[in-house]
């Protein structure tokens, strides 16, 4: 069945791969981003440009662009990474990561959830670096802390949206070869997108709020 999919951070990396995948399935895809890219422009999705997920005016613009659209799947994918170390903390960079990685997905979900009917799905692209139990190396303070906050937001949303019939997935894509990590990774964005879509396809109210690796492993909190 054709569905309407909204993806943030869709101009490159995992977001672009997800947009390409869902478009290839025949779905209607809205791709939100600050700036488009040749790769995004070429795949025939509906691009919503000029969206800075931390800005109120951008969120209003996103909401306006999607007015009247019934959303079957919302994928909050936009994220940033800065690798702070103890003794060399960049507080503004940490704050920015919280704004983009944790607060923005919550704010976007709050605005768009009224357009999501019972049976729709919400996917939060997070990281196992936000796991408390799985942290064996330290560092990357802003990224780890912001993703831990996103994971908690995902659990709260799973509870709050369940009564509306909306299921929530909290998804770690794996170590993906994207610009954000300098191309270091063990899977391609296309492979990560396919795995994430597999997880989303199995999502329902019975497993809402689960923290998954894209390979299907349930991750520790």
Residue with the bigger pLDDT between 71 and 83: it is 71
- The pTM assigned to this predicted structure is 0.95
Q: Which CATH number covers residue 144?
A: 3.40.50.720
Sheet of strand 210-213, all strands in order from the earlier edge strand to the far edge: 46-48, 28-32, 4-8, 73-76, 121-125, 167-172, 210-213
Say which residues have a Cβ less than 8 Å from residue 171's Cβ, sequence separation at least 6.
Answer: 123, 124, 125, 126, 196, 199, 200, 212, 214
pLDDT tens digits along 87-143: 999 999 999 999 999 999 999 999 999 999 999 999 999 999 999 999 988 899 999
State the burial class of residue 214 (Cβ atoms within 10 Å of its Cβ: 0-12, 13-18, 19+). Answer: buried
pLDDT tens digits along 152-194: 999 999 999 999 999 999 999 988 876 665 656 678 999 999 9
Residue 170 lies in a domain: yes
Cβ contact 32:8 at 8 Å: yes
Q: What is the predicted pLDDT for the residue at 24?
A: 97
DSSP state of 115: G
Q: What is the predicted pLDDT for the residue at 177?
A: 73
pLDDT reading at 23 higher than 80: yes
Q: Which residues of 81-98 are buried (b: 16+ CB within 10 A; e: fewer)?
A: beebeeeeeeeebbebbb
Residue 174 lies in a domain: yes
Residue 128 lies in a domain: yes
Q: What is the predicted pLDDT for the residue at 183?
A: 57
Residue 221 lies in a domain: no
Residue 188 lies in a domain: yes
> Number of structural domains, the chain?
1
Arithmetic mean of pLDDT, 66-93: 95
State which H helix or E strand residue 4 sits in.
Answer: strand 4-8
Residue 218 lies in a domain: no
Rounded Cα gap, residues 98 and 54, in angstroms? 10
DSSP state of 26: T
Residue 176 lies in a domain: yes
Residue 220 lies in a domain: no
What backbone torsions phi and psi does residue 209 show, to the nearest 5 degrees?
85, 10
> Domain of 168?
4-213
């Amino acid at each position: 069945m054709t569905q309407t999919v909204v993806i943030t951070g869709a101009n490159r990396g995992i977001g672009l791969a997800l947009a390409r995948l869902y478009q290839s399935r025949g779905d209607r895809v809205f791709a939100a981003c600050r700036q488009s890219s040749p790769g995004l422009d070429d795949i025939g999705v509906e691009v919503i440009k000029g969206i800075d997920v931390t800005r109120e005016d951008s969120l209003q613009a996103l909401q306006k662009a999607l007015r009247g659209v019934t959303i079957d799947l919302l994928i909050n994918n936009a994220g940033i990474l800065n690798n702070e170390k103890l003794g060399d903390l960049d507080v503004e960079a940490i704050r920015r990561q919280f704004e983009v990685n944790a607060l923005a997905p919550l704010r976007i979900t709050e605005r768009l959830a009224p357009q999501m009917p019972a049976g729709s799905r919400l996917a939060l692209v997070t990281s196992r670096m936000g796991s408390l139990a799985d942290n064996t190396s330290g560092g990357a303070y802003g990224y780890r802390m912001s993703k831990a906050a996103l994971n908690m937001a995902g659990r709260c949303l799973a509870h709050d949206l369940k009564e509306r019939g909306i299921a929530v997935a909290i998804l770690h894509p794996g170590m993906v070869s994207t610009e954000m990590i300098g191309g270091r990774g063990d899977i391609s964005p296309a492979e990560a997108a396919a795995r994430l879509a597999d997880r989303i396809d199995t999502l329902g109210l019975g497993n809402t709020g689960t923290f998954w690796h894209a390979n299907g492993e349930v991750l520790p909190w």
